[in-house]
Every structure is written in C-alpha cells, then in structure tokens.
A = this chain, B = another copy of it.
Amino acid sequence: MNPVSGVPIVGVIGGGQLARMMIPPAVELGLQLRVLAENAGESAALAVTQLGDYRSAEDVLRFAQGVDVITFDHEHVPQEVLRALLESGVAVHPSADALLYAQDKLLMRQRLTQLGMPVPEWAAVDSEADLESFLAEHGGRAVIKTPRGGYDGKGVRVVSTASEVADWFTGDGPLLAEELVDFRRELSQQVARRPSGELAIWPVVESIQRDGVCVEVIAPAPDSSEKLTEVAEWIATTIAQELGVTGMLAVELFETTDERLLVNELAMRPHNSGHWTIDGSATSQFEQHLRAVLDLPLGATAPRDPWSVMVNVLGGTTENRYPAALADQPDVKYHFYGKEPRPGRKVGHVTAAGEDLEDVVFRARAAAAFFED
C-alpha cells in the first residue's frame, strides 16, 4: 500500500495487453498498478515500473517489494519463483497451487478427472508406441499437446500417426493425448473468485476460433438452453472453488454434437473470450480481476445489452485507418494494444452491441476489417 495515500498497489508480472487493459480500471478505481515487463515498449508500457525476467526470482522479488498483491498477465512464471514470492510474504493471486493447473495441461487433466469434471478422453503418452495405442482406441486421430508452454494453437497438433509428433518425444516427460472431440462449437465460461470465497459469473459465451486462435466472441452464447448455461456455470464455479483459483478464471469448453460440455482449457487471468465485458458488462473482467486479487467485493456482471460481439484485429494497424473506421461505425468500441503489427498477431479488438445479433455481428466485423491488411 502507498504509505502516503493508503492506495492499494497491484503488481502485475508481464507487460502484454492483459496488463495494459488493467490500467483503465486501476485508474478509475484509484488503485496503483505496477508492471514488470521483459522489454521497454510492451503493451502495458505506461504502467511499467521495472524491466526484468519473470523467470528470475531475484527480479521478481525486487519487483514485489512494497506491493499489496502480485498477479499476472500470463501463466508462465515458474513454480519455484512463485514459491519464492510466497515465502517472501507477499500475497500472490492466483496462487502457485492453483496456477499449476493452468501451466501444465497434463496435471490439469488429472485433477479435473479426479474432480469428476467432464473432459475429453485423454492419456499421458510417453512414447510413439503409447500414442499409437491411444490412436487405435480413438478412431485413428487424436489431439496431441505439449503439457507446458502452448498458447494460441502453439504446442497443439492433430495427428493420425505417432510419427507426426516424433519431435516432441524429447524425454522431457509425457505428452497429453486427447480424443478429437466432435464439437458443435466452442464456449467459454468466465468466473471471478476472491480469496475469501465470493464468486461472480458472466454469461457463457461462444468463442469462434480460426487456426487455434480466437477470432470472434458472441456474448451470451446464442441458442443456449437453461441446462447448458447451468452446467457451464457449475463447471466453472466448481473448478474455481476446488482449485482455489483467485482472480479471473476462464474455462474453455467444447459443446459436443450430442449436447455435452467438455472442458478444453483453463486460463487463470483475464482472457480474450472476456474482452467483450469492457464495454458490454457492468463490471469488466479487468476491473473484476483487480477487485478479486485485492479481495475486494466483486462488481455486478449483468450484460449491458442483449448481444455483444467482439472481433479480434489480427495483424492490422491503426495507422491511417481510424478516420474511415470511426466514421463508418460510431457505435463500435475500439481497443488497440500498442503492439507492432505482425501477420496474425492480436493487435487489438473491437466490440459492438445491440438488440439484433445479425446486425451486431455485421458492425463488429465491419469495424475490425478496416484495420486488416
């Protein structure tokens, strides 16, 4: 806490767009945000107070001095650094114990299975022979994931023979093999949880992926039965509680063609599938994350509009594009992350809202298209 003003200080490890989007609610709530970034000029540059390596306990412990709570822009801080933080006495949310299941997909699968959560059929495969057995038992195709380090489709391959991931059998431990789920669509359920236990939940949303990257989110997920929304909420709140998640949790789900929900991935931080909440919910996921990690009461999560649609801008630029885009879509909210454009890179997103879903989708896509090459 700032000793003069009594203002709580939140330290965020990682300087990407998720840290950046915590800046507006921190400014509005009158909180102080500090960011540990790897390099100057990252998305959250405005709030960066230290450059350093999140894998270095020394850098991270120095950053943590004087802050009230440490939280994260990403899930890559090693367990030993998290443990060192804990030992230093600083509050860390989410905790090392919880983060473990967002860091390691194999441990996540084991734990969720233990909890009775619905998950795709899976196995830890140690060798090509193991994988061939799994393939034989699952229709000859499977999704193979490296347990650690993957994101946005990286570290994931769909294979029909073990040789396609021969390069991943490096002796670093087993891979995760999962059945290829026959899904109707992908959903995402977001929930916030405070250390003292309070939960806040948003409506389940539909997340549209292309090449493993989220391109569009529709909130709430269209054509969702009451049962589907209840099951999605039950899954997310159970995981948040049983894993002791603090802050934001996103549970990515498959809705199967036979109307079941299966847990795909977990993220313990604000998530792309929740960006619509900045404009579309009484409390955004970024404000809620700050409130949750400070163990402050959570805000209301009611949607502001019948439909909100978020479209990612991949690889585009704002340079010279704003005049036409803003003139064409004055109701759309524009968000850019201050990132250098590279093909396929998420550099921003737009959100439209309204009563007619078709119109909302059209406006969001039209706005995003102005920035693409």
- Name A residues whose Cβ lies closer than 8 Å to a Cβ of B: 4-7, 20-21, 23-25, 27-30, 46-47, 278, 282-283, 291, 296-300, 302, 304, 317-320, 322-323, 326-327, 330-331, 333-338, 340, 348
Interchain CA distance A282-B333 in the complex, whole Å: 8
CB distance from A199 to the nearest CB of B (A): 13
Q: How far is the CA of A24 from the CA of B25 in the complex (A)?
A: 8
Chain B nearest Cβ from A291, distance in angstroms: 7
Assess the B338–A30 pair: CB atoms within 8 A: yes
Q: Is the CB of A5 within 8 A of B338?
A: yes
Contact A46-B28, Cβ < 8 Å, known A291-B326, A297-B326, A330-B298: no
Question: Can you list 10 pairs linking A and B with CB atoms under 8 Å apart?
Answer: A5-B340, A6-B319, A21-B27, A23-B27, A282-B331, A296-B322, A297-B326, A298-B330, A300-B331, A304-B304
A333: nearest residue on chain B (CB-CB)?
B28
| Chain B residues, Cβ within 8 Å of A4 | 340
Contact A29 B336 (CB under 8 A): yes
A337 to B27, CA, bound (A): 8
A326 to B335, CA, bound (A): 27
Chain B residue nearest to A319 in the complex (CB): B6
Centre residue among A296, A320, A340 by max chain B CB count within 10 A = A296
CA distance A331 to B320 in the complex (A): 38
How many angstroms from the CA of A333 to the CA of B4 in the assembled complex? Answer: 25
Among residues of B, the one whose C-beta sits closest to the C-beta of A2 is B338
CB contact between A299 and one of B28, B283, B291, B326 (< 8 Å): that residue: B326
> Distance (Å) between the CB of A270 and the closest chain B CB?
14
Query: How far does the alpha carbon of A331 sit from the alpha carbon of B335 in the complex, in Å?
Result: 24
Contact of A27 among B7, B24, B333 (CB under 8 A): B24
Whether the Cβ atoms of A323 and B296 lie closer than 8 Å is yes
Q: Name A282's closest neighbour in chain B (CB-CB).
A: B331
Q: Are B282 and A29 in contact (CB under 8 A)?
A: no
Please give the distance in Å from A167's CB to the nearest CB on chain B: 36
Per the bound structure, the CA–CA distance linking A29 and B304 in Å amounts to 21
A30 touches B348 (CB 8 A): yes
| Chain B residues whose CB sits within 8 angstroms of the CB of A7 once the complex forms | 318-319, 338
Q: Are B30 and A335 within 8 A (Cβ)?
A: yes
- State in angstroms the CA–CA spacing of A278 and B287 once bound together: 14
Q: A304-B304, A318-B6 are in contact. Are A46 and B30 (CB under 8 A)?
A: no
Known: A30-B335, A30-B336, A297-B327. 8 other contacts (CB 8 A): A5-B338, A24-B25, A28-B333, A29-B335, A29-B336, A283-B330, A297-B323, A302-B331
Q: How far, in angstroms, from A244 to B138 measured CA to CA in the complex? A: 71
User: In whole angstroms, what is the CA distance A99 to B358 when docked?
Assistant: 45
Cα A5 to Cα B46 in complex, Å, equals 15
Are the C-beta atoms of A28 and B331 separated by less than 8 Å?
A: no
Query: In the complex, how many angstroms separate the beta carbon of A186 from the nearest chain B beta carbon?
Result: 26
Residue of B nearest to A294 (CB): B322
Judge whether B300 and A330 touch: CB under 8 Å. yes
Residue of B nearest to A353 (CB): B282
CB distance from A315 to the nearest CB of B (A): 15
